[in-house]
Amino acid sequence: MGKPFDALKALRDTGAPGRMWTLAGQARNLAGPLAANTHIHLPPNFSAFESVGQAVALAAEEGLGVLGATNYYDFGVYAEFAGEAARRGIFPLFGVEVIALVDDLKRRGVRVNDPANPGKMYLCGKGITRFAPPANRAEALLAGIRRSDSKRIAAMIARLEGIFRDHGVETGLDEKAVRVMVARRIGCPQETVTLQERHVALAFQEAFFERVGTPERRVLLADIFGVPPQAQAADRVGLQNEIRMHLMKAGKPAFVEEEFPAFDEAFGLILELGGIPCYPTLADGTSPVCEFEKPVEALVDSIAARNIHCAEFIPVRNDVSVLERYVPAIRAAGLVVTAGTEHNTLKRLPLLPTASGGVSIPPEVQAIFAEGARVVAAHQFLSVYGECGFVDDEGRPNGAYDDAEERIGAFSRLGAAVIARYRQTYGADEKEH
């Protein structure tokens, strides 16, 4: 096995910041169209992809110039990701996804960007660079989150095993068995696996299918769920979703109360990792829209008040008319906006983001998303050199600029230059630039 690809060294080798700023000023045309996806999950996170290489190969096939991984709590896969991306001339963005709890919103019953749990807030960190290895404080925060998650998942698995056993299906599953299953499936060390609910549902679905024949499945599942399943007896993904819905969600028999870091801890973790705190926007990805996110003007005020200067969409969840309303409004308020596909289910969607139903994203919205990807690339590049990026270590906007428009414009141009030089260095075709 060869030496792991040094992702951060590759970024540094693109060129010194002074040189990149000069190129940014000389080549304004570099800030043109860019095919980018800033948010996917890679295995061992639950993912549509069987391997990192498969994800990057598909991105190359679709003509993406930038691809961002946004995994939960472990970054061991990022060296492989960066190596695969470099090999195919794709600029890699590194990120993290964190779940926080905002107590006052929970008390008031305000749903944020989780439609089922008031006060639960997903946060992303964009352009992280201090992950190999994480700094002491970041590692301590990550370790605490992992311990809490592991304890909860182990308890849920035990409850599920009891439920299936009581209905005559001995799965033999426990937390260790599910972890081993994931590690073998992906071909990774067990210690890099952060178990998620979808991993657990997959394990129980597979164990159920191994022990129960197709003709008996729906009848037995109706007894286990308390209601007839909607999915067909051979529908693996559909039945995984129903295991989660009927057994694992809040108020269901295998549910275990979640413990999340407070918002300040989650926000601090992102900054410790060198990233830009980013708010993942659900909008009409649920109906009705979460209270925190409507109207869009109130959403902008709420996230800006929390010192968040970046928002992200998973556009496939959103009607194109909602994107046309939300995205320009958020950008006009001085925030950058990015877009991804997540790919955190087994459903294989295109990697190039589209609106709901596969509708193309309008050019003016796509331009905002592309600009956001360039800004994150510039932040990540400067951070590798120890310089202040789009935000500083307190999360405040870079103070070298008079206003948000000047700052976003400068970082967009720098990001375009960095991406172009990186892809040129690694032999990419620069057609879209």
Pick the more confident residue, 341 or 46.
341
Asked if residue 188 has pLDDT above 90, the reply is: no
Per-residue model confidence (pLDDT) at position 431: 40
Please check whether residue 400 lies inside any domain of the structure: no
Quick: pLDDT tens for 97-149.
Answer: 999 999 999 999 999 999 988 999 999 999 999 998 888 889 998 989 989 98
Please check whether residue 6 lies inside any domain of the structure: no
Please check whether residue 429 lies inside any domain of the structure: no
Asked if residue 189 has pLDDT above 90, the reply is: no
Q: What is the DSSP letter of 391?
A: B
Collapsing DSSP states into helix, strand and coil, what is residue 107? helix
User: For the chain, what is the domain count?
Assistant: 1
Per-residue model confidence (pLDDT) at position 32: 54
Q: Where in the sequence is the domain holding 158, given as residue range(s)?
A: 145-248
Stated pTM of the model = 0.90
Burial of 427 (0-12, 13-18, 19+ CB in 10 A): exposed
Pick the more confident residue, 423 or 337.
337
Please check whether residue 123 lies inside any domain of the structure: no
Quick: pLDDT tens for 296-326.
Answer: 999 999 999 999 999 999 999 999 999 999 9
Per-residue model confidence (pLDDT) at position 46: 86
CA distance 416 to 432: 11
Quick: pLDDT tens for 163-185.
Answer: 999 999 999 999 999 999 988 88
CA distance 103 to 119: 6
Closest of 346, 119, 157 to residue 248, by C-alpha? 157
Please report the DSSP string for 309-330 in residue order.
-EEEE-GGGS-HHHHHHHHHHH
Q: For the packed helices 363-384 and 320-332, what is the interaxial angle rounded to 10 degrees?
A: 50
The CA–CA distances, whole Å, from 191 to 130, 150, 169, 195, 384 equal: 20, 12, 29, 10, 27
Please check whether residue 27 lies inside any domain of the structure: no
Per-residue model confidence (pLDDT) at position 70: 95
Please check whether residue 297 lies inside any domain of the structure: no
Please check whether residue 235 lies inside any domain of the structure: yes
Per-residue model confidence (pLDDT) at position 430: 39
